Amino acid sequence: MVSASVVRGTAVTAALMSLLAVPAHAAPLEPGTTRAGAPAPDVTGLWNDLRAAQRSGAPGAMARLEDRDTVHWAAVGVADRKTGRALSNSDRFRIGSITKVFSAVVLLQLAEEKKLTLDAPVDRYLPGLLLDKSITVRHVLSHRSGLYDYTNDMFARTVPGFEAVRKKVFTYRQLVNRSLAKPRTTKPGGAYSYSNTNFVVAGMLIEKLTGHPVATEYRDRIIEPLMLTDTFYVHPGTKIPGRYARGYLTPDTAGAALVDATEQTASWAQSAGAVISSTRDLNTFLSALLGGRLTSRTQLAQMQRWVPAGTTQAYGLGLRRRDLSCGVSVYGHTGAVQGYYSYAFASKDGKRSLAAVATASNNGTLHNTMLRTLESAFCGKPSKKARPAATPVERHDDIAPDNKLSFDE
């Protein structure tokens, strides 16, 4: 039996329901106490974070927090601005760069099967693709290849850039060629420099080494074994299967109307960002990964060989570590794709996980508001000493890092 709370309505309701969400066969925790040495989650704070995201411009926002045998979920706003249908945690959405974790898992499994060597040059498997034999698979998966991110130019103007590619179908090589036409950002093995190009190359590696589309490998290695019934890779299809939340793109011009960006090929992203999922499935996926159910301990340790990626972040192989104000570190990825901004992170042992999404993108205030969901989920109730007065604006990690309204996680 799993105890769960549904949080929707007023903040008072949220506070009440959070008290009702207790582990099966366990007594309610007193406010501020912890379980297994970790701060108790602040479910009311999580609710308030979602409400703040809605005030910041998202038509809807939702989160699912799983803490061992306790499940909390919350949703605010609408899934569809035209119909007014309320947002629900059963709604599917585009997860953007959280897809990168899927791609990395497949490659690490292939490494375990001796079909891939992480420190081998990409050229061994994709001869002539990158014209530089010093770029290794590890460099690609850790964003240290120096390959320019082609989305910088593609989405330099947010809405026109999106509309130009909304229905297009690209080959992997076409996307890589866009990158190769630009100077390198660093020498191979140099400092972390986020680039979607790296995980386009990852997709090419998966398909070359297996002889199957990435959709097949995601399905056979991750989706079906974990019974992720809300998770799909439909590229180049444009529709989200079943019940879903519509996503809205914020134009660069202040005050301009939101653009419904739900239907698109997502071909500009593919193995770097085209998966569709739900909050439930994302929690299941990350908990399984960090709990050692998808890779061997050896490969999971490779995934967690960190390089600096900002003041409070580090990056491994397709996996991001965020260091929170309370001293807790969480592991997962962010995802920004037109219309959606999402977080999927878990504790190191995978026993507490959070998946959260706001149904808008290209909004810096909104993105940093959603960042606070991690603090509420993993650090508990805030203290004056524990948290800064204001969260610094950060760039996101999927779309146009050079765009003034885009931010990198």
- Rounded-to-integer distance, Cα 329 and Cα 322, Å: 6
DSSP for 29-97?
PPTT-EETTEEPP-HHHHHHHHHHHHHTT-SEEEEEEEETTEEEEEEEEBS-TTT-PBP-TT-BEE-GG
Q: What's the longest Cα–Cα distance across the chain?
A: 62
Q: How far is CA 93 from CA 5, 17, 263, 358, in A?
A: 22, 25, 11, 10
Sign of CA dihedral 382, 306, 63, 293: negative
Residue in 5, 97, 142, 347 annotated catalytic: 97
Give the closest residue to 289 by CA, choosing from 301, 277, 307.
301
Residue 90 catalytic? no
Tokens (6 digits) for 181: 């036409």
Residue 25 burial by Cβ neighbours in a 10 Å radius (0-12, 13-18, 19+): exposed
Side chain identity, residue 143:
H
Taking a C-beta distance cutoff of 8 angstroms, is the pair 97, 334 a contact? yes
As annotated, the active-site residues are 97
